[in-house]
Structures are given as structure tokens and as C-alpha cells.
Copies of this chain bind each other. A is one copy, B any other.
């Protein structure tokens, strides 16, 4: 049900009087669910949103990823993000597909094509060790069609580094604040800017950083309004969400 064929058939039922408009509405409302039941969801979504598809690579074998890529390529997908893969998997995939691998972000863009960046997302990090997660966010956002400015190593223990970069921060539409250890970057940035801030705690640190829990709690407790948080090390999630917000259009009213 709920393929285009099904939708037609429902409408035909209405025409023939077999279904009232009310029941037909019900059919149509549920259609997107059924439709996706045959894994057609991604095509649909890509068409609707202009969003490239994503393969979460962490728990998949290289053969599985290769298989999925092959199917996607056949359907005409381009700019496919493959996240959380190592060099070895990237090498394997690169033998079969055009592929740009970013070792710092442990992320590849398969079947890459030029993407024009719109709007303005700033990705800021507390330290250099946070750059891997930050790059996952930045490249995700760029691949999704956003313009990204990187401000790395601007942690709060050396406030001058942040204050010396007010211009890009102030003119951003969305800021992604990536920090481990005490995670204070999100609060300070959140207090400076007037746009939405997405905080990404990282597992950088040792001892009482508890693998990112310390930064996570800090960010959740941020007194700066306009800040929200994603999972520890979730650069992809932050980049994806930032893209969604950055590309919002004016409300009709």
C-alpha cells in the first residue's frame, strides 16, 4: 500500500464512491509510513529536501558499506556521507567509487560533487584535540550545502582567543560549539551570540572528564539561553541539525 500505485487506487475508490473522502484522507495520511516500509524512504527524502544520503559506518563491514553505496550509485545518489570509518575501509571503498576521505573526521564523501555553501555556520572548538569531532560536524554541514567557518582552539581558558574572533561568531546563523574537559565553551559562546548554539561535548580529557560526561553535564547546565546539546562526540548530528536551522526560510507569517 501507499506507493503511488496505492494512492491512485485510493483515489479511484473515492471516485467510484467506494471510499468516503474521510477514509481516503486517512489512507493518505498514513502513506508515508507504509511507503518507507519498502526502504524507499531515502529516495523520497532526498528528492524532497535536496539532502544527500548518509551511511553510519561504525557498525558495518566494508562489504556492507560497499553494497549500499553500489545500490545508491545505481539510483543516482551523489555526495553520500559515510561516517565513522577508518582508513582501511576508506581505501577499500575508494577502489570502487570516487571517494574523498577525511582522516581527521574519519568520514568520507562518496561520489563527491561540488556543493555550494549557503548561509553561515561557525564550528568552534575548545582545543586542538576536539578537531576530529569538529571536522565531522563541519564536513557534514558543508556536504549538506552550508557555508562553514572554523574557529579552532578558542577555549575559554584563554579568553583572548575567542574575543579575537568575534566577527565570524557575531555574524553566524548557527554556531556549533565543540569542547571536551569542562565544556565551558558552549556557555561563553552562548552568552556572546544571538543565534542558536549547538553544543557538542567531546570525550577529550582524562580522569574526572569521565569520557565526555563532564563536558556533557556542563553544556546541559549552561546558563546561556539559546543553547542545546547533542550526544558526546556526535559531530554528524550537530552538523546535520545546524544545516537544518541554517537553511530555514522566513516563516510565511
A-side interface residues toward B, CB under 8 Å?
1, 9, 13, 16-19, 22-23, 26-27, 29-30, 32-39, 41, 45, 48-49, 54, 58-60, 118-120, 126-129, 155-161, 163-167, 170, 173, 181-184, 186-188, 190-192, 194-196, 198, 201, 203-234, 236-238, 240-241, 244-251, 253
B231 touches A230 (CB 8 A): no
Residue of B nearest to A206 (CB): B233
Chain B residues whose CB sits within 8 angstroms of the CB of A220 once the complex forms: 182, 207-208, 214, 216, 229-232
- The residue that A228 contacts in the complex, of B207, B230, B232, with Cβ under 8 A, is B230
CA distance A46 to B249 in the complex (A): 23
Residue of B nearest to A237 (CB): B225
CA distance A237 to B120 in the complex (A): 23
- The residue that A118 contacts in the complex, of B58, B160, B251, with Cβ under 8 A, is B251
B223 touches A182 (CB 8 A): yes
A208 touches B237 (CB 8 A): no
Given A163-B37, A220-B214, A223-B126, are A191 and B157 neighbors across the interface (CB < 8 Å)? Answer: yes
A160 touches B217 (CB 8 A): no
- A142 to chain B minimum Cβ distance, whole angstroms, is 15
A163 touches B34 (CB 8 A): yes
- The residue that A13 contacts in the complex, of B19, B161, B194, with Cβ under 8 A, is B19
Residue of B nearest to A247 (CB): B251
